[in-house]
Amino acid sequence: MKYREAVRAGLREALRSDPRVFLMGEDVGRYGGSYACSLGLLEEFGPERIRDTPLSESAFVGAGIGAALGGMKPIVEVMTVNFSLLALDPIVNVAATIRHMSGGQFGVPLVIRMATGAGRQVAAQHSHSFEGWYAHVPGLKVVSPSTVADARGMLLAALREADPTIIFEHAALYPMEGGPVPDNMAVDLSRAAVRRAGKDATILAFGANLWKALSAAEELAREGVEAEVVDLRVLRPLDDDTILSSVRKTRHAVVVDEAWRSFGFSAELSARIMEGAFRDLAAPVARVCSAEVPIPYPKHLEDAALPQPGAIVAAVLATIGSGTAIAHGRV
């Protein structure tokens, strides 16, 4: 099963199991979705439940909020994360605040799916990684499925939430193939996942960068360094226990984030590690992020601007080297 097929399977299962669930967004119906995630669903469920919308993110996200308040379970698809900027007001100023402003009387059981990330030569306006922007906002749950199984399981789990959940699907993952996806697989939307055990350094990543981190860990293993790879997958709320437990064990941490380094998600994660495991660290937290430029269109420049396995390997070796120097009093 491919990642996009897992998303489609999750959508189909949700639509079949609950008549309150419907999907809305640009081109989700007749076209089958910009990434083929909803292909065939219009024919199966009809236009009342698979709704093509006008090109107005503010309008159809707002409609989704209203439907959720009215007792429905809408899934809203925003074609790419940059288009979600047109819906910041309904997401941040309405969906995220209603639970608080109503004194707990109302929730917004809304799921917003959006494609994120770079690496596909779609240039500066369609290559953003704004996960950290949304993870900054209380009242939202923010998740990023990195595996085929999570692409389906996290969607179904999000539909059980009483408050809004944003699912970031890295667009580079849609064609990725994975193993069998078990039916009724439960996903805990509060826990990170250790994808590879190790003892020498912790690599923290999510989305498509998980696979770059795992590739880097394989290369490190050939050099005798055993890196533990943690798939964050839930960005708000962060699973501090899993993160800090791994860092306390390995004493070295490298954060991989496709967003820009300055003022970003990687900075928050680094601060939490320093606050929660400072005395366990043998070296400062290292970060591997995108270059501080709009993402270029040419493939060789895009690759150079994004985190790559080689840069992750170098960061791990550098932090382990500086840790050894600190231990021997050389710095």
Q: Report the DSSP pairing between strands 111-116 and 253-260.
A: unpaired
Catalytic residue among 26, 57, 77, 228: 57
Q: Which of 5, 26, 77, 126 is catalytic?
A: 126
Sign of the dihedral defined by the CA atoms of residues 94, 95, 96, 102, in that order: positive
Q: Cα–chain-centroid distance for residue 93?
A: 21
* Residues 6+ positions from 230 with CB-CB distance below 8 Å: 192, 193, 194, 195, 202, 203, 204, 205, 242, 243, 246
- 57 a catalytic residue: yes
Angle between helices 209-222 and 309-327 (to 10 degrees): 60
Tell me phi and psi for residue 116, to 5 degrees: -135, 170
Contact 96, 136 (CB under 8 A): no
HSE-up of residue 6 (Cα within 13 Å, Cβ side)? 29
- 126 has catalytic annotation: yes
φ and ψ of 182, to 5 deg: -65, 145
* Residues designated catalytic: 57, 126
